């Protein structure tokens, strides 16, 4: 029997960590899964950032001092119309599914956190500092992500820059870590399988308790946890019975009402402080501004006199829920641009809501989004007037864009390059 080397008291002694599950094979399997999964999370996260058209700052992107990190130079496309729905569905569903894998991975290496001496050499010291960024960054990104999805914006307005900067710090540490450990992880996976004959490493307990479950069994348990999270989350990207399987989705995962307006609502009119007196046919006017200060004021009846068009488009929120295509009907954004002097080549537009309360009131759209014939100032959805909660009297709907750009209760639109 091997004797436990004692380097310190309690957890600082390797003999303190007795699970026979810990070892290079177990850690390597989880590490390889995270390598693939976190890379996808990072890419879909960056794509999601690009979808906001962050160069339309400070309106769409309020990240302070982002410098070269805000390097997007392209206009977010409008095709395919489900682009953001797919991207964000993958980002959020995968992120939630990976939680058990992340926790198991951290558990598998936790003895190393207590390893003494704290640093054997300068390289070792640097490696341990990078691990702090890695573990701290991972926990920070997963926690802020989940909080945002579940409690929509516990930190009003600040989730976005926190998650954004956190992602860069975390990913830099992650790349360094993967580059350092990948060769060893692959070697472990190729040669060792689930062998008990592992070379003695820091990960293997010198004083293991008798096993109660095999390593494969433990991996199955982690995978089962992931599968359960996946199965109770993914449904929020679909309508009907599937959405009811999204037990973990925010808003209880249920349709808010039935009928034509029976798709998910982000913020209700009551929450946003929208009063019926301001949205009545008598009171409400849409102000459209454009070239050379040209301004028109339109009542809902005026808008109904303009050519009306339909488009089947989803709402896809950054929080990871989305609706299937809904039938929107209203006035094309490019037709509104034409009313104020842009007969050809419509420019960008800055959209403001009636809403005075809460962090969300305005959003900007790029010229290519305005030009798309499916981009509407919608007055109807699924054959009926918009309900107050979906943005009555009028709301924006744009193909492939994040839900947050689809401003509800529109009051003013200013056309002109931003």
Ligand X SMILES: Nc1nc2c(c(=O)[nH]1)N[C@H]1C(S)=C(S)[C@@H](COP(=O)(O)O)O[C@H]1N2
Q: Catalog residues that contact ligand X under the rule CB under 6 A.
A: 264-267, 272, 315, 317, 353, 355, 358, 360, 390, 403-404, 406-409
Element spanning 113, H or E = helix 99-113
* Binding mask of the shown chain, residues 347 to 386, with x at each position contacting Mo ion by CB under 5 A: ----------------------------------------
**Helix segments in 152-279, DSSP class H:** 159-192, 215-231, 241-244, 269-272, 276-279
**Residue 263 CB, nearest approach to Mo ion (Å):** 13
Q: Is 404 in the site for Mo ion (CB under 5 A)?
A: yes
CB 410 within 8 A of CB 353: yes
| Window of 25-33, 127-135, 273-281, 395-403 that interacts with Mo ion by CB under 5 A | 395-403
**Residue 260 CB, nearest approach to ligand X (Å):** 12
Place of tokens 């193909």: 399
Q: How far is CA 395 from CA 123, 190, 213, 285, 342, in A?
A: 57, 56, 56, 13, 21
Task: Between 173 and 246, name the residue whose CB sits nearer to Mo ion.
Answer: 246
Distance, CA of 15 to CA of 4 (rounded, Å): 5
The option from ligand X, Mo ion, none interacting with 390 (CB < 5 to 8 A, set by class) reads ligand X
| Window of 72-80, 101-109, 212-220, 404-412 that interacts with Mo ion by CB under 5 A | 404-412
Q: How many residues bind Mo ion (CB under 5 A)?
A: 3
Q: How far is CA 112 from CA 119, 181, 194, 208, in A?
A: 12, 14, 21, 16
**Residue 337 CB, nearest approach to ligand X (Å):** 20
**Residue 6 CB, nearest approach to Mo ion (Å):** 54
The option from ligand X, Mo ion, none interacting with 414 (CB < 5 to 8 A, set by class) reads none
Burial of 344: CB neighbours in 10 Å, binned 0-12, 13-18, 19+: exposed
Element spanning 148, H or E = helix 122-151
**Residue 316 CB, nearest approach to Mo ion (Å):** 8
CB 61 within 8 A of CB 255: no
**Residue 42 CB, nearest approach to ligand X (Å):** 23
**Residue 353 CB, nearest approach to ligand X (Å):** 4
* Binding mask of the shown chain, residues 309 to 348, with x at each position contacting Mo ion by CB under 5 A: --------x-------------------------------
Identified binder of Mo ion from the candidate list 89, 145, 320, 403, rule CB under 5 A: 403
The option from Mo ion, ligand X, none interacting with 63 (CB < 5 to 8 A, set by class) reads none
The option from Mo ion, ligand X, none interacting with 265 (CB < 5 to 8 A, set by class) reads ligand X
Task: Between 108 and 355, name the residue whose CB sits nearer to ligand X.
Answer: 355
**Residue 98 CB, nearest approach to Mo ion (Å):** 22
| Window of 12-20, 122-130, 301-309, 398-406 that interacts with Mo ion by CB under 5 A | 398-406
Exposure on the CB side of residue 109, measured as CA atoms within 13 A = 18
Query: What would the two tokens of residue 321 be?
Result: 């829920």
Contacts of 42 (CB under 8 A, 6+ apart): 167, 171, 174
CB 61 within 8 A of CB 159: no
Strand partners for 331: 377
Exposure on the CB side of residue 246, measured as CA atoms within 13 A = 29
Q: Is 391 in the site for Mo ion (CB under 5 A)?
A: no
Query: What are the residues binding Mo ion (CB under 5 A)?
Result: 317, 403-404
């Amino acid at each position: 029997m091997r004797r436990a080397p004692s380097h310190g008291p309690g957890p600082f002694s390797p003999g303190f960590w007795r699970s026979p599950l810990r070892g290079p094979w177990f850690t390597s399997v989880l590490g390889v899964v995270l390598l693939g999964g976190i890379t996808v999370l990072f890419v879909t996260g960056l794509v999601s950032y690009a979808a906001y058209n962050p160069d339309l700052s400070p309106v769409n992107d309020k990240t302070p001092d982002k410098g070269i990190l805000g390097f997007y130079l392209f206009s977010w496309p409008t095709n395919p119309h489900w682009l953001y729905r797919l991207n964000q569905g993958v980002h959020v569903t995968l992120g939630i599914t990976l939680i058990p894998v992340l926790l198991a991975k951290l558990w598998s290496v936790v003895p190393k956190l207590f390893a003494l001496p704290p640093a054997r050499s300068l390289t070792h010291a640097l490696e341990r500092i990078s691990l702090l960024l890695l573990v701290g960054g991972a926990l920070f990104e997963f926690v802020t992500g989940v909080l945002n999805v579940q409690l929509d914006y516990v930190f009003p307005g600040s989730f976005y820059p926190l998650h954004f900067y956190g992602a860069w710090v975390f990913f830099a540490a992650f790349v360094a870590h993967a580059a350092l450990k990948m060769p060893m992880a692959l070697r472990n996976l190729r040669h060792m399988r689930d062998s008990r004959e592992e070379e003695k490493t820091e990960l293997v307990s010198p004083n293991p308790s008798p096993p109660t479950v095999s390593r494969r069994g433990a991996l199955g348990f982690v995978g089962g946890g992931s599968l359960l999270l996946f199965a109770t989350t993914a449904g929020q990207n679909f309508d009907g019975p599937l959405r009811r399987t999204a037990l973990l989705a925010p808003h209880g995962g249920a349709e808010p009402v039935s009928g034509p307006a029976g798709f998910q609502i982000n913020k209700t009119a009551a929450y946003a402080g929208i009063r019926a007196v301001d949205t009545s046919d008598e009171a409400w006017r849409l102000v459209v501004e454009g070239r050379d200060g040209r301004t028109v004021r339109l009542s809902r009846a005026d808008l109904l006199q303009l050519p009306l068009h339909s488009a089947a488009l989803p709402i896809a929120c950054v929080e990871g829920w989305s609706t299937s295509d809904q039938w929107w009907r209203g006035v094309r954004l490019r037709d509104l641009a034409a009313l104020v002097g842009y007969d050809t080549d419509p420019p960008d537009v800055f959209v403001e809501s009636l809403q005075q309360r809460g962090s969300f009131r305005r959003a900007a759209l790029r010229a290519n989004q305005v030009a798309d014939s499916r981009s509407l100032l919608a007055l109807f959805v699924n054959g009926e007037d918009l309900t107050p909660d979906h943005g009555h009297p009028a709301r924006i709907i744009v193909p492939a864009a994040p839900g947050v750009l689809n401003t509800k209760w529109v009051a003013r639109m200013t056309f002109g390059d931003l």
